Amino acid sequence: MRDGVRLLVGVGLLALAGSCAGRNLPPEPDSYVAADAIGAERAADLAASPAATWLDDLNSAEMSTLAREALAGSPDLQAVEARYRAARWRARGAFGSNLLPNLSIGASGTRTEEPTATEERIRTEFMTSSVVANWEIDLWGRLSARTLAADLSADAARQDLDDARLSVAGQSARAWVDLIQAQQLLALAQEDLETRERALDLTQRRYDAGIATSLALRTARSQVASARALHAQAQDSLLIASRRLQEIMGRYPDGSLRAEGDLPHLAPLAAAGAPADLLERRPDVLASENRMRAAGFRIHEARAAMLPRLTLRATAGNSGAGINDIDDSVNMVSNLVAGLTMPIFNGGALISESRATVADRRAAAAEYVRTSIAAWREVEGTISADDSLAIREEQFGIAADEAREAQALAEREYSRGVATLFELIDAYTRRIDAERGLITARAARVSNRISYHVALGGGARTGGIDEDRDLTP
């Protein structure tokens, strides 16, 4: 009876230990979470993140709303976030496995039955219990270097997530601009088609009256057919722009999404700040810096791997024919071993790894320099582009106004028989080209302003990300 109670107690303790370990197991992995099903707390966190707050500086409520939905529902972004969380958990596991002792307990039992000359069988039972602890003393900082490298790699993954969020916000904002541009170009194509049809109708009446020639009539028909083809192309471009924005947002890309607002009026370009400040704000630069630092710790780890290692191992256990024998702490056999080992020959693997980590560090440093220069180039490029785009928008605005007046004059003169059809067609073409140039220049300037904010790491008001800044327009 006493043996049975002790067996139940031992099994219960093992089950309790297993349940305590099981409580720390992660939950079942979440599937993709659509933007409309995301939790309110998480949605608010994304909306307040530096990747989204800069959107309000452009004073477009619709663009900000759609971009925040993309931050919540983008499948690409959720994949990057999952990879970051995996890296962070592995970094935590590396700390425990590298710097803390390992402890395990176990129990096992065997039963053997042997036949005899009689009908009876000889039964032999043997049970063992064990407690094992291992701990490598970090004499030369090898394990600390490995742990720090893993932690820095997780930090880099976090900054990759910030960079991905910033990129998705920029992509969705630019896709919204492209959608508005496509809608305006479609409206312009529709207006052009109607204008050419009016010219054809007038030319047909003049031809029936014997005033216009057959050449003029066929030319007018050709212009209408070309306008219909361009109208169909503009319709397809609108569907492409709509599907692209829906894809970024995680919606089904049926092409039904339409922009209700208009392109925002842009304020003068804010100061970009000092070039050195950009290195502290761009997530991709920070990620590259952390990977470079992690590569430095891996050099130390590889070099320390060639030095002696001190390991402590403690074991305790018992064996016997029953529970009474294996859980008897008084008679338990214990053992403590301290071992010092040093690698002598392993085919040059350690030396090769040490030299490889030096090369990895050089590559990481070069990547950091490349990322930094690319960041500066993007900022400088968007600044210079803003100036040229502002001039383009202004001049195309003037050209469009003059072309509209010229078209109205050409229509009046053609209806009176003063101007020729070719002069009218030339006025139409010039007006459409000017209007198209104005629409394209306005959209390009807004897209460039979005790229400017993204290039600065999420905001230009203070030269970069500043979570505590005043966001009042």
Q: What is the pLDDT along the chain (473 residues), one digit of tens a residue?
A: 444 444 444 544 444 444 454 444 444 444 444 444 455 555 566 655 656 677 877 888 899 889 888 888 888 888 898 999 999 999 998 888 888 888 888 777 787 777 776 767 777 777 787 788 888 888 888 889 999 999 999 999 999 998 998 999 999 999 999 999 999 999 999 999 999 998 899 889 889 988 888 998 999 999 999 999 999 999 999 999 999 999 999 899 999 999 998 898 888 877 767 788 888 888 999 999 999 999 999 999 999 989 998 888 888 777 766 655 565 555 667 778 788 888 887 878 889 999 999 999 999 999 999 999 999 999 999 999 998 999 999 999 999 999 999 999 998 888 888 888 888 888 999 999 999 999 999 999 999 999 998 998 886 543 333 333 333 33
Q: Tell me, which fold does domain 49-100+141-306+352-455 have in CATH?
A: Outer membrane efflux proteins (OEP) (1.20.1600)
Query: Which two three-digit tokens encode residue 194?
Result: 């109607």
pLDDT at 361: 93
Give the separation between CA 243 and CA 260, rounded to whole angstroms.
16
For 17-25, the CB contacts below 8 A with 24+ separation are 17/105
Give the separation between CA 261 and CA 208, rounded to whole angstroms.
46
Give the separation between CA 435 and CA 2, rounded to whole angstroms.
96
For 119-127, the CB contacts below 8 A with 24+ separation are 124/321, 125/321, 125/322, 126/319, 126/320, 126/321, 127/319, 127/320, 127/321, 127/322, 127/323, 127/325, 127/326
* Closest to 68 (Cα-Cα) out of 162, 163, 161, 169: 169
Residue 16, CA distances (Å) to 7, 12, 13, 21, 22 in order: 14, 6, 5, 9, 10
pLDDT at 188: 94
Longest CA–CA span in the chain (Å) reads 132
Contact 273, 462 (CB under 8 A): yes
pLDDT at 470: 38
Query: Which two three-digit tokens encode residue 426?
Result: 């030339």
* Closest to 287 (Cα-Cα) out of 364, 363, 345: 364
